[in-house]
Amino acid sequence: MGRRKIKMEKVQDTNTKQVTFSKRRLGLFKKASELATLCNAEVGIVVFSPGNKPYSFGKPNFDLIAERFMNESEDSDSCERSGYRRGNRARQEKMICKRLNSIIEEAEAEKKRGENLQIWLETAGEERFNRPIEDLTLEELKEFEAKMERMHGGIQGNINHMRASSSLVILSKEK
């Protein structure tokens, strides 16, 4: 049959929208990689999914591209004071980039914290919890449950904090 031209229109169904986003995102990242390879260009892309999750791609490295972009926008911001709107937009972009970088740093810190917690959990030294649950006493089970609930609460708090941070980035981008 061959390929047919697809009419460009907004997808209404949420499941179809998510599938289309995933396929197009991978295609976009592949094209960006090809552009970077063929032209020896530095490429950085940030895309937000329909579920408001950020996805980034950078070649050679997204963090390096974002840092370079922020440094150049600071330089150009001081040179381009020709209008309030242009300066305001540059400040907003600079703010968004800083917020995105802080979210990336927070995510990396949380990942490191999670790895440390996993190591701590594995080497906690509490031999009584290394036994099968059936062998624990009622008091030990209650203590184990309390520890698990505290851990779950901490994880849930971190998830809520990350969602709030990503919402702030999205809201600042919309303004």
Q: Residue range 94-101: average pLDDT?
A: 85
* Distance from C-alpha of 138 to C-alpha of 122, rounded to nearest angstrom: 22
pLDDT over 50 (residue 9): yes
How far is C-alpha 26 from the chain's CA centre? 16
At 34, is the pLDDT very low, low, confident or very high (cuts 50, 70, 90)? Answer: very high
For 39-68, write each residue's pLDDT tens digit.
998 899 999 988 888 898 898 888 888 888
At 127, is the pLDDT very low, low, confident or very high (cuts 50, 70, 90)? Answer: low
Q: What is the pLDDT of residue 84?
A: 47
* Distance from C-alpha of 64 to C-alpha of 137, rounded to nearest angstrom: 54
pLDDT over 60 (residue 82): no
For 12-21, write each residue's pLDDT tens digit.
888 888 888 9
pLDDT over 60 (residue 78): no
> Which residue would you say has higher pLDDT here, 86 or 55?
55
Q: Residue range 99-127: average pLDDT?
A: 80
Report the chain's mean pLDDT, rounded to a whole number.
80
State the pTM of this model. Answer: 0.40
* Distance from C-alpha of 90 to C-alpha of 84, rounded to nearest angstrom: 10
Pairing of strands 54-59, 43-48: antiparallel
How far is C-alpha 87 from the chain's CA centre? 27
Residues 50, 14 contacting (CB under 8 angstroms):
yes
Q: Is residue 50 reached through a cis peptide bond, with omega within 30 degrees of 0 on the bond before it?
A: no
Q: What percent of the chain has pLDDT over 70?
A: 81
Q: Residue range 90-108: average pLDDT?
A: 85
Q: What is the pLDDT of residue 81?
A: 44
pLDDT over 80 (residue 136): no
